[in-house]
C-alpha cells in the first residue's frame, strides 16, 4: 500500500503568528533539512508551497522540483479559507498558480488549504478549486477540530459531487465513536510514536492509503526562540508548545519511512485509481468510510 508523504512549505511566523509576518530565510534552511531527510530515506513527497514563500526565495521551488518531488499549491498568503470571500480566495489561489508556473513552468494538480481551512463554512471553495484545474486536494480534516475539520467527512479518498476534484484527507483513526488525528504537524511531535505506527498499520490493513503531513520548521529545534529574540511577540506557553520535541520529528519520520511505503499524493492516488473508478460507478452519495462521492449536505 502506497501512502502519501506531504510537506507544507511555509515559515513558522507567517503560518502560526500572522499571515503578514515577515518570511525569514529560516524557511530555506529548514527546507534543506527536509530534502536531505527525504533523500536519505528515498521518499518522494508532495510539497504544498506558498506563493509568497516562493517569491521571497526563488531558488526553493526549482530545488524541490529537481529533487523529484511533486509540487502542489498551498495558496499564496496563508489566509484561512473560511475568513476569505470566494472572490478573494480565487484570487489568492490563482496568484499561487502564477508563481509556480512562472518559476518552474508547471501547473499544480494538487492543493492544500492553509490550516485545513475548508470546513462546512467554506465548501464554496470546492468548485473554485475544480474550476482552476486542480485534480486533487488534501484540505478537509475529518475531525471535530477547534479551528478546522468536518467531523463526518469521509476518512478516505472521495470525489466531490458534480466535479472531478478528489479529496484525499489526512490520516485519522476512528475510535470511541469519533475520528482522531494521528500523523502530522504537532501530532507527530506530541503523540507517542507507537500510536502513529499502529494507526498506519490499521489503515493500510483495511486497504486504504494514508496521508501524513509535516512542516519544515518542525525539524528545527530552537527556532521559535530565535523568532522571539528578533522581536516577534510570542508567549512562553506558545513557545513551549510549539518547540516541544521538535528534536525527535526527523527520527520519527525516518522510522515511518522504514516501515511504510510512501510516495507523492499523485502516486498514492494513482495506485488506488482502479478501485476508485469501480466504486464511483454505482455510488452517488453515502456517508460511511468507503464513500467515494460525498455530498456534504
Cβ closer to Zn ion: 148 or 158?
148
Among 137, 139, 150, 82, which residue's Cα sits nearest to residue 110?
137
Task: Determine if 11 is a binding residue for Zn ion (CB under 5 A).
Answer: no
Q: How far is the CB of 137 from Zn ion (least distance, A)?
A: 14
Binding mask 102-141 for Zn ion (x = CB under 5 A): ------------x---------------------------
Angle, helices 249-259 vs 193-205, to 10°: value is: 30
Which of these ranges, 8-16, 204-212, 245-253, 260-268, lies near Zn ion under the rule CB under 5 A?
Answer: 8-16
Cβ closer to Zn ion: 142 or 216?
216
Among 147, 135, 192, 195, which residue's Cα sits nearest to residue 171?
195
What does the alpha-carbon distance between residue 124 and residue 59 come to, in Å, rounded to a whole number?
A: 34
Residue listed under C-alpha cell 523568532:
227
3-state secondary structure of 231: coil
Cβ closer to Zn ion: 76 or 156?
76
Q: How far is the CB of 8 from Zn ion (least distance, A)?
A: 4
Binding mask 65-94 for Zn ion (x = CB under 5 A): ------------------------------
Residue listed under C-alpha cell 471535530:
144
DSSP state of 44: -
Angle, helices 26-41 vs 249-259, to 10°: value is: 30
Binding mask 14-33 for Zn ion (x = CB under 5 A): -x------------------
Here the cell at position 81 is 479559507
Query: Which of 3, 5, 8, 153 touches Zn ion (CB under 5 A)?
Result: 8
* CB count in 10 Å sphere of residue 131: 11
Q: How far is the CB of 114 from Zn ion (least distance, A)?
A: 5
The alpha carbon dihedral of 257, 170, 50, 237 has a sign of negative
Site for Zn ion in 136-165 (CB under 5 A): none
Q: How far is the CB of 77 from Zn ion (least distance, A)?
A: 11
- Applying CB under 5 A, the residues found at the interface with Zn ion are 8, 10, 15, 114
Amino acid at each position: 500500500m502506497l501512502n502519501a508523504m506531504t510537506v507544507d512549505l511555509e515559515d513558522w511566523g507567517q503560518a502560526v503568528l500572522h499571515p503578514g509576518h515577515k518570511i525569514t530565510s529560516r524557511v530555506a534552511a529548514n527546507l534543506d533539512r527536509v530534502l536531505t531527510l527525504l533523500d536519505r530515506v528515498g521518499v518522494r513527497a508532495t510539497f504544498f508551497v506558498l506563493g509568497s514563500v516562493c517569491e521571497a526565495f526563488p531558488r526553493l521551488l526549482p530545488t524541490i522540483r529537481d529533487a523529484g518531488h511533486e509540487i502542489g499549491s498551498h495558496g499564496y498568503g496563508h489566509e484561512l479559507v473560511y475568513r476569505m470571500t470566494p472572490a478573494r480566495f480565487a484570487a489568492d489561489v490563482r496568484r499561487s498558480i502564477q508563481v509556480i508556473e512562472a518559476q518552474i513552468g508547471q501547473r499544480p494538480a494538487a492543493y492544500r488549504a492553509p490550516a485545513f481551512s475548508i470546513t462546512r463554512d467554506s465548501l464554496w471553495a470546492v468548485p473554485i478549486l475544480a474550476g482552476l484545474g486542480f485534480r486533487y486536494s488534501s484540505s478537509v480534516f475529518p475531525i471535530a477540530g477547534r479551528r478546522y475539520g468536518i467531523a463526518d467527512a469521509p476518512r478516505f479518498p472521495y470525489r466531490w459531487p458534480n466535479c472531478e476534484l478528489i479529496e484525499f484527507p489526512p490520516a485519522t483513526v476512528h475510535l470511541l465513536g469519533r475520528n482522531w488525528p494521528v500523523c502530522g504537524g504537532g501530532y507527530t511531535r506530541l503523540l507517542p510514536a507507537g500510536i502513529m505506527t499502529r494507526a498506519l498499520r490499521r489503515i493500510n490493513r483495511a486497504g486504504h492509503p494514508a496521508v501524513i503531513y509535516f512542516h519544515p520548521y518542525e525539524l528545527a529545534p530552537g527556532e521559535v526562540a530565535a523568532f522571539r529574540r528578533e522581536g516577534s511577540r510570542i508567549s512562553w506557553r506558545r513557545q513551549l508548545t510549539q518547540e516541544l520535541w521538535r528534536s525527535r520529528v526527523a527520527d520519527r519520520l525516518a522510522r515511518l519511512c522504514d516501515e511504510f511505503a510512501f510516495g507523492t499524493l499523485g502516486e498514492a492516488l494513482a495506485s488506488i485509481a482502479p478501485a476508485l473508478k469501480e466504486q464511483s460507478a454505482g455510488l452517488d452519495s453515502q456517508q460511511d468510510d468507503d464513500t467515494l462521492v460525498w455530498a456534504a449536505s
